[in-house]
Structure 1
Amino acid sequence: MAGFSDMSCDGRDVARLILQVQNCSDRVTMDVGSLMEVAYEYIDLIDLCYLQWLAWLFYPLVLTFILPICLLLLLYASAVFLHVYRLRHLLRTAALSRHYWDSARYEVVGFEKIPISGPALLIYYHGTIPIDLYYVMAKMIVHKDRQLRAVGDRFLFKIPGFRLLMDVFCVHPGTVSQGVELMRDGHILAIAPGGVREAYFSDEYYKMLWGKRIGFAKIAIEAKVPVIPMFTQNCNEAFRTPQNRPITYIGDPIPYDPDISPEKLAIKTRVLCSVLILQVQRAIEGLIKTHQRIPGSIFHAQLERLPGFPSGPTQPSEHEVHTD
């Protein structure tokens, strides 16, 4: 390590010290002061070797946790800012807010597919950090005058100081009954079925890790609302490259089938949920195959920002977003 380069523990030094101790012990007239000096030097060298071993042992742990700690500090900084904002009531002008929006290098394709009024479910692929959802929230407030509701993991509400942050961003714990109630009130609800598992364990091939999570399908069927798929290009690579410009693609809405009777709906809820889940998965997979280079690459993500380089997959995809 760089911090211990001047304290490297070499086997030759240890052998040299041992030889000095043996030479001192072989003398008939042994200098006690010299022997003690050699012994202290030998002990110091052992201490340096032990410290160097500890440094190499904990260095990977520091690299593993330093990034989540930085993210946690940034989130806490946002929460502190909200508390100060609530106390001081400082407001930015619309022109200044637009300036920050334009300088963020963010683009939404298919934004018109999100309705201006009425309920809908926005189902999206959970990238490493869902920064794309935050931008969509801001864009909906600016251009559609609507507040996008979102579903967050329950552990977010247990972090001290985060409840105000969740309330400001209209993030809810995400029960089915609460989601249906929001739909009946006419809101748009954003859900990432993959959640934190998809954010941490999905790779550069952008596989969706939904497991058996069917809550969003139950909400859509019970509330009788359309489902809108969403995916952000290079969302996993953009996390590691701050200069990358994210582009969010909104797919065609998957409408609710009004011909389903209440009796059939009650009996085959799980079957209908499975069908709806397959439709949404195919829709999001269609967005990924159409607009995302597989496997994802930081180098190609940077090249796509330059004029003359193709964006998205190397060859046109035959898959299209299905709405049936």
Structure 2
Amino acid sequence: MVFNQAIYYLLTYLERSNLDLIYLTWLWALFKPLCLLLLSLFLLPATILLFIYGSSLFCLIYKHWNRLKAAYSDDLWYGALKTLAILWELQGNIWHGYEVEGLEHIPTEGPVLIVFYHGALPIDFYYLFAKIWLYRNRRVRVVADKFVFKIPGLGTLLEALEIQPSTSAMCKSMLEEGHVLAVSPGGVREALFGDHNYQLIWKERRGFAKVAIEAKTAIIPMFTKNVREAVRAMTFGRRFLSYIYEKTRLPLVPIYGMFPVKMITYLGEPIPYDPDVTTEALVARVKKEIETLIETHQQRPGSITRACLDRFSCFSRNQTIIKNE
């Protein structure tokens, strides 16, 4: 009954509107090939893209499936972190074409301290955490500023990752227990108030060097190409926000981006423990090593457009030639 009424109203509307159905049919027959062509130009590539991403996800999970089965049978957090590492690796590979050079410098056992340049958002460290966990079978321990523990909703993740407050005693303890520890002397200050010129903002921080000497640990310098182009911090009102940060330690600078730029993490040659080196000399050497990595691999000032073009080998190769010249 309802269907019949609907047909009746439709026919009545068409009759009152004086629509020429034959003319409309002719128009559809005329433009149908063009409409289908335009639709296919957008729909088919999107469909193929979904299949490619789905295939990549399936292959990656299948590759690590045996590891996951063993992980979940041993420890809850162990298995959860294995899963997160796979997902982060997938995300990094797809969105940033993420790579690591020098992963072999991470020892399979024993303590080591990674010192890295801090981007506006340390997504490069998340990706590196996944790579080290999956391919070196080691968990990277992390320390964080106190405000991180006050962010709502992160408690479980902080617990799973065993993230601890950033203190010299905690860092020394982790290294003496034989862990891989990652720190950024620039910290939040470097993250929020650095820019696309990639200058280190360490102030007078030398605690990491003191800890490394006391724990008799090697240091690995780290830098990630285009990390500033992936996510950037707003520069508007920076002087005022810097003043607020220095007084309150509140990270109020907005960040934006997550652009699909090419990202490559470079792990430099380990700086071995030297009982005769001073804290100041070790700080200077680590700083010089990271600055050398930046100078060698990063075009400055950074460009979001150029960093996106780095995803394509032809552009990346041309830029390398220009830089070398």
TM-score (norm 2): 0.62
CA deviation after TM superposition for structure 1 residue 172, in Å: 1.6
CA deviation after TM superposition for structure 1 residue 163, in Å: 2.8
Aligned residue number for residue 295 of structure 1: 301
CA deviation after TM superposition for structure 1 residue 100, in Å: 5.5
Aligned residue number for residue 230 of structure 2: 238
Distance verdict in 2 for CA 1:92–1:286, change over 3 Å: closer
Maintained 8 Å contact 1:233/1:291: yes
Query: Which amino acid in structure 2 is aligned with residue 243 of structure 1?
Result: P
| Percent identity (aligned) | 44
2:94 to 96, 103, 116: 103
Aligned residue number for residue 43 of structure 1: none
Maintained 8 Å contact 2:229/2:307: yes
2:274 to 249, 253, 257: 257
CA deviation after TM superposition for structure 1 residue 106, in Å: 1.2
Q: Secondary structure at the match of 1:248?
A: strand
Query: Which amino acid in structure 2 is aligned with residue 309 of structure 1?
Result: F
Aligned-partner Cα distance in 1 for 2:297–2:272: 23
Aligned residue number for residue 135 of structure 1: 127
Maintained 8 Å contact 1:290/1:316: no
Aligned residue number for residue 212 of structure 2: 220
Aligned-partner Cα distance in 1 for 2:308–2:262: 9
Distance verdict in 2 for CA 1:128–1:152, change over 3 Å: same
CA deviation after TM superposition for structure 1 residue 159, in Å: 2.6
Distance verdict in 2 for CA 1:101–1:202, change over 3 Å: closer
Ranges in structure 1 where 5+ consecutive residues have no aligned partner: 1-85, 266-271, 318-324
Distance verdict in 2 for CA 1:213–1:93, change over 3 Å: closer
Distance verdict in 2 for CA 1:242–1:187, change over 3 Å: same
- The 4+ residue runs of structure 1 with deviation greater than 6 A are 89-94
Query: Which amino acid in structure 2 is aligned with residue 119 of structure 1?
Result: P
CA deviation after TM superposition for structure 1 residue 121, in Å: 0.4
CA deviation after TM superposition for structure 1 residue 101, in Å: 6.3
2:174 to 160, 182, 193: 182
Q: Which has the higher contact order (CA 8 A, sep 6+)?
A: 2
Count of equivalent residues: 220
Distance verdict in 2 for CA 1:164–1:93, change over 3 Å: closer
Q: CA RMSD in A?
A: 2.8
CA deviation after TM superposition for structure 1 residue 215, in Å: 1.3
Ranges in structure 2 where 5+ consecutive residues have no aligned partner: 1-75, 232-256
Instruction: Map 1:41-60 onto structure 2 (within 5 A).
Output: none
CA deviation after TM superposition for structure 1 residue 241, in Å: 4.8
Aligned residue number for residue 73 of structure 2: none
Q: Secondary structure at the match of 1:103?
A: helix
Distance verdict in 2 for CA 1:99–1:241, change over 3 Å: closer
Aligned-partner Cα distance in 2 for 1:300–1:241: 15
Q: Deviations over 1:150-205 (max 9, x none)?
A: 12111111233323222222322121111111111100100011011101111111
2:288 to 267, 273, 282: 282
Maintained 8 Å contact 1:148/1:170: no
Aligned-partner Cα distance in 2 for 1:280–1:133: 18
TM-score (norm 1): 0.62
Aligned-partner Cα distance in 2 for 1:276–1:91: 33
Rg larger for = 1
